């Protein structure tokens, strides 16, 4: 495999980002990809099934429809959450638009007893774990700090502190190994997070302790407004080599490849052969969060080029070509999507505001004098509003 360094490929960049795929209409897909390191692909953007020598997958029509349904419902939920933020029902939302295949493919590779450490964008993985999507919204509405019990679905709470969850995953995986269990752990993080010291430390520890952990990096090309080439001089998956474990780059918009590659990495972890870094090469189609405006720092053509690689569309093309799904299936799924959207709207709007004093609960298991002092101060502050209301009568 020939791998050019990012620096060699793109000598000088202007502040307005141009991408390796900036001229999609004139450049055939094959030529574009040949300038990038090889990635594992089982379903092309045109919906053609292709083989890979190291990763095989054989799914029934029902399983393929299942993956399609997962991606469609996740996208619908995500669109609803974005709309709810715009209507003032959520304070913020981090959309997964474009990353459905990376999340559903990897999420469906997991066993129930595996443990997941997500970031804040893994709504598709949460879906695969059986977390009710409405539970993801409380934190974004500001009415709770999490919204689900991590141990019910082996899906940890969302983590905002970039990269820190890779350390939690590594420690957890070391514990799994000590227990002699054959389950695996997966940590999700982004291209930007790969620059964090926490990630480097978790690579070191997991390698040395042979921890059963899969590092699943969704390289969506952007860390807010910073492009990937500001994070690394080499393709991210190659970082693993320096730590002594394998790294693989997969087409993150190909749900079949993401499933096959993650499955293989999890099996390797279960066999006691240690960590794997999976780099899912994908694209953040939307804004970083609803507080961001990507038109300020990236060109429209870049998004358009990635639209042609849409993860849902390519599976739909394949399903139709293979006769694996009929019109009735797509119609029923449309109806199911609408019903999900309606349920999400209703549940969010009915979420009660918490008692303001509840913010001091669960800070320390056994209490703390400083928290007690702050609680008393805040209670007095709250009471001052009651006095004002009385005076106004």
Ligand X SMILES: Cc1ncc(C[n+]2csc(CCOP(=O)(O)OP(=O)(O)O)c2C)c(N)n1
Instruction: Report the interface residues with Mg ion, using CB under 5 A.
Output: 190-192, 220, 223
Minimal distance in Å, beta carbon 231 to Mg ion? 9
Residue 123 found at the interface with ligand X (CB under 6 A):
no
**204 vs 225, which CB is nearer to ligand X?**
225
288 binds, among ligand X, Mg ion, none (CB under 5 to 8 A by kind): ligand X
Residue 145: active-site member: no
Q: Which of 17, 76, 288, 298 binds ligand X (CB under 6 A)?
A: 288
- Rounded to whole angstroms, the Cα distance separating 25 from 20 reads 13
Minimal distance in Å, beta carbon 107 to ligand X? 16
Structure-token match 């993650």, residue found: 262
The DSSP letter of residue 295 is: G
Tokens of 189: 């993080």
**163 vs 192, which CB is nearer to Mg ion?**
192
Distances (CA, A) of 234 to 14, 220, 327: 20, 16, 45
Residue 293 found at the interface with ligand X (CB under 6 A):
no
In contact, 105 and 254? CB cutoff 8 Å: yes
Q: Which of 75, 121, 288, 298 is catalytic?
A: 288
Q: Which of 105, 107, 171, 192 binds ligand X (CB under 6 A)?
A: 192
Q: Which of 297, 343, 345, 375 is catalytic?
A: 297
153 binds, among Mg ion, ligand X, none (CB under 5 to 8 A by kind): none
Which residues in 144-163 contact ligand X (CB under 6 A)? 160-162
In contact, 305 and 41? CB cutoff 8 Å: no
Q: Which of 156, 284, 298, 314 is catalytic?
A: 284
Residue 190 found at the interface with ligand X (CB under 6 A):
yes
**57 vs 236, which CB is nearer to ligand X?**
236
Residue 284: active-site member: yes
Residue 158: active-site member: no
Distances (CA, A) of 65 to 71, 76, 94, 266, 333: 10, 16, 26, 23, 10
Say whether 181 sits in a helix, a strand or coil.
coil
Q: Which of 68, 127, 215, 222 binds ligand X (CB under 6 A)?
A: 222
Nearest to 108 by CA among 219, 253, 261: 261
40 binds, among Mg ion, ligand X, none (CB under 5 to 8 A by kind): none
Query: Which of these segments, 31-39, 171-179, 217-225, 302-310, binds ligand X (CB under 6 A)?
Result: 217-225
**141 vs 284, which CB is nearer to ligand X?**
284
Residue 224 found at the interface with ligand X (CB under 6 A):
yes
Q: Which residues pair with 393 in a beta bridge?
A: none
- 359 HSE (CA, 13 A, CB side): 11
Alpha helices of the chain — where are they, by DSSP H?
6-9, 29-34, 61-86, 100-107, 123-129, 137-141, 150-153, 164-179, 197-208, 239-243, 255-270, 300-307, 311-322, 327-349, 369-391
Per CB under 6 A, residues contacting ligand X are 121, 160-162, 189-193, 220, 222-224, 284, 288
Please identify every residue annotated as catalytic.
284, 288, 297
């Amino acid at each position: 495999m020939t791998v050019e360094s990012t620096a060699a490929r793109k000598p000088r960049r202007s502040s307005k980002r141009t991408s390796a795929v900036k001229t999609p209409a004139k450049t055939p897909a094959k030529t574009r990809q040949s300038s990038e390191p090889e990635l594992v692909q089982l379903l092309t953007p045109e919906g053609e099934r292709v083989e890979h020598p190291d990763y095989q997958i054989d799914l029934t029509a029902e399983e393929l429809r299942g993956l399609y349904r997962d991606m469609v419902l996740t996208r619908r939920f995500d669109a609803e959450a974005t709309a709810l933020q715009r209507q003032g029902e959520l304070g913020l939302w981090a959309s997964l638009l474009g990353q459905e295949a990376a999340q559903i493919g990897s999420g469906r590779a997991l066993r129930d007893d595996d443990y997941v450490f997500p970031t804040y964008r893994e709504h598709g993985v949460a879906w695969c774990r059986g977390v009710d999507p409405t539970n993801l919204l409380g934190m974004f509405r500001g009415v709770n700090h999490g919204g689900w019990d991590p141990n019910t679905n082996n899906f940890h709470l969302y983590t905002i502190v970039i990269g820190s969850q890779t350390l939690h995953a590594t420690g957890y995986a070391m514990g799994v190994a000590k227990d002699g269990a054959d389950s695996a752990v997966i940590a999700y993080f982004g291209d930007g997070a790969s620059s964090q010291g926490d990630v480097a430390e978790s690579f070191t520890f997991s390698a040395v302790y042979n921890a059963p952990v899969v590092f699943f990096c969704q390289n969506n090309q952007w860390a807010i407004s910073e492009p990937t080439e500001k994070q690394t001089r080499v393709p991210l998956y190659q970082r693993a080599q320096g730590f002594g474990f394998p790294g693989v780059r997969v087409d993150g918009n190909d749900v079949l490849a993401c499933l096959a590659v993650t499955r293989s990495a999890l099996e390797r972890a279960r066999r006691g052969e240690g960590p794997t870094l999976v780099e899912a090469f994908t694209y953040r189609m939307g804004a970083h969060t609803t507080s961001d405006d990507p038109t300020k720092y990236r060109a429209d053509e870049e998004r358009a080029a990635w639209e042609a690689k849409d993860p849902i569309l390519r599976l739909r093309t394949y399903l139709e070509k293979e006769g694996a799904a009929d019109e009735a299936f797509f119609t029923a799924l449309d109806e199911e999507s609408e019903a999900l959207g309606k349920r999400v709207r209703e549940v969010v709007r009915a979420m009660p505001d918490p008692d303001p004093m509840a913010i001091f609960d669960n800070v320390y298991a056994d209490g703390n004098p400083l928290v007690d002092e702050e609680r008393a101060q805040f209670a007095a502050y709250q009471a001052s509003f009651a006095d004002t209301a009385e005076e106004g009568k």
